[in-house]
Amino acid sequence: MNLATIKRPSWRRLASLTIASCGALASGDAQLPERFTNLQVLPPGIASDSLLSVMGGFTRALGVPCRHCHVARNGGRPAADEFAADGVEAKRVARAMLRMVDAINREHLPATGRLPVNMAQVTCATCHRGIRRPVALEDELWAAYVRSGLDSTVALYRALRTQHYGTGAYDFSELPLPTLADRLATQPVGQADALVLMRLNLEYHPDSWFTYQQLGQLQASMGDTAAAIVSVERGLALNPQRPFLRELLTRLLKR
Ligand code: HEC
Ligand code: HEC
């Protein structure tokens, strides 16, 4: 690999795909036009198979079909003469995203001063992880909470987990629910709901000392010292090395 190839914008990599995998998904199905007439960001002379691999990468990175960004008058697959049209808002956004990713890879990352060969590249999938709007789980749940309350939030968490667990689309570790619970608990009216979210987290992460620690602090701030002590003791049993839990317990026992 020489510097010239590295410096050239690598459109294939934008979409994070291997050339081997690209044909399989996209090319068999879509009827492409003979010539591309409305490329404003991608190189106008781009080869058909390269364009297709970029587009196939988009569909996988965002988890959407071609028609999410392309006009499809018959409601199914866009026809060959429809791809050039700009009627869909998502196509406009995708162009802005292409420019952003290109700027990151060509300007901002090299500006770190690291050697190009060692440098990772940002792709659509870096952020999108297979979903249309790459939003952190706690933010997605927060929006549901504000919109429709606790029950919907819990239902959404379970549904997203069923649908996406293991795909990397969302973080289903022990962290997002306590983060959201913290946010809720800043309002006195949110504290009881925050408790429910902590319990939900323990259902999926029964060995999370961190959740017990946060739960203990929440219970303490709600005035339930007895419950707080139980939680903190559980946390300590799971992580005896944690001085903060020990201090917390000492403080609670003095109450
Ligand atoms: C996330 C949005 C998005 C998805 C999904 C998408 N495209 Fe595109 N497509 C674009 C954008 C943006 C352009 C224009 C790029 C430019 O201006 O350089 C484009 C351009 C094209 C063009 C060139 C049209 C022309 O004549 O200028 C073709 C052909 C095309 N896409 C095919 C496909 C196919 C086939 C799929 C599904 C496998 C697909 N696209 C999925 C965003 C998308
Ligand atoms: C740095 C993170 C990041 C990268 C990289 C990124 N996106 Fe996005 N993208 C976002 C965010 C955040 C949103 C949501 C904006 C909103 O709706 O609030 C978004 C939204 C979109 C949307 C609108 C989705 C919809 O229908 O609501 C499209 C289309 C899109 N991105 C395409 C792409 C494509 C194509 C690439 C790769 C060329 C890409 N994005 C790379 C962060 C990113």
Task: Give the pLDDT of residue 127.
Answer: 97
Q: Which distant-in-sequence residues (6+ apart) come within 8 Å of 242 by Cβ?
A: 209, 213, 235, 236
Task: Give the pLDDT of residue 38.
Answer: 97
Task: Report the nearest-CA residue for atom 36 of ligand 2.
Answer: 124
In terms of domains, do 26 and 61 share one?
yes
Q: What is the pLDDT of residues 96-139, one digit of tens each?
A: 999 999 999 999 999 998 877 778 899 999 999 999 999 999 99
User: What backbone phi and psi angles, to 5 degrees, belong to 103?
Assistant: -65, -40
- Of the residues 128, 158, 176, which one is the last residue of a structural domain? 128
Site to probe by mutation for ligand 1, drawn from 31, 35, 58 as the one with most ligand atoms within 8 Å of Cβ, is: 58
C-alpha 141/C-alpha 146 separation (Å) is 9
- Of the residues 128, 158, 191, which one is the last residue of a structural domain? 128
Contacts of 223-231 with C-beta under 8 Å, sequence gap 24+, read 225/252, 225/255, 228/252, 229/253
Residue 194: burial class (beta carbons within 10 Å; 0-12, 13-18, 19+): buried
In terms of domains, do 143 and 92 share one?
no
Task: Give the pLDDT of residue 29.
Answer: 62
C-alpha 56/C-alpha 64 separation (Å) is 10
In terms of domains, do 33 and 113 share one?
yes
Ligand 1 centroid to 30 CA: how many Å?
Answer: 11
In terms of domains, do 123 and 183 share one?
no
Task: Give the pLDDT of residue 67.
Answer: 96
User: What is the Cα 110 distance to its own chain's centre?
Assistant: 25
In terms of domains, do 68 and 170 share one?
no
Q: What is the CATH number of the domain that holds 84?
A: 1.10.468
Instruction: Note the residue count of the chain.
Output: 255
Site to probe by mutation for ligand 2, drawn from 40, 127, 140 as the one with most ligand atoms within 8 Å of Cβ, is: 127
Q: What is the pLDDT of residues 147-170, one digit of tens each?
A: 999 999 999 999 999 999 999 999
Task: Give the pLDDT of residue 72.
Answer: 95
In terms of domains, do 198 and 171 share one?
yes
Q: Is the CB of 70 under 6 A from ligand 2?
A: no
Task: Give the pLDDT of residue 27.
Answer: 44
In terms of domains, do 20 and 58 share one?
yes
Q: Is the CB of 215 under 6 A from ligand 2?
A: no
C-alpha 197/C-alpha 114 separation (Å) is 42
In terms of domains, do 63 and 34 share one?
yes
- Of the residues 98, 128, 158, which one is the last residue of a structural domain? 128
Task: Give the pLDDT of residue 188.
Answer: 84
Q: What is the CATH number of the domain that holds 250?
A: 1.25.40.10
In terms of domains, do 101 and 188 share one?
no
Let me know: does 176 contact 197? Beta carbons within 8 Å.
Answer: no
How big is the chain by its Cα radius of gyration, in Å? 24
In this structure, is the dihedral angle defined by the CA atoms of residues 151, 152, 158 and 159, taken in order, positive or negative? positive
What ligand is nearest to the CA atom of residue 136?
2
Q: Work out the number of other CB atoms within 10 angstroms of the CB of residue 251.
A: 13
In terms of domains, do 21 and 122 share one?
yes
In terms of domains, do 108 and 16 share one?
yes
In terms of domains, do 202 and 117 share one?
no
Site to probe by mutation for ligand 1, drawn from 31, 52, 70 as the one with most ligand atoms within 8 Å of Cβ, is: 70
Tokens 């196509």 label which residue?
Answer: 91
Domain range for 176: 137-254
Residue 221, both tokens: 């701030």
Q: What's at 164, amino acid-wise?
A: H
| Nearest one of 245, 1, 2, 14 to 124, comparing CA atoms | 14
User: Considering its fold, how many domains does the chain have in total?
Assistant: 2
Task: Give the pLDDT of residue 24.
Answer: 37
User: What is the Cα 157 distance to its own chain's centre?
Assistant: 14
Q: Which stretches of the chain score pLDDT less than 70?
A: 1-29
Task: Give the pLDDT of residue 187.
Answer: 85
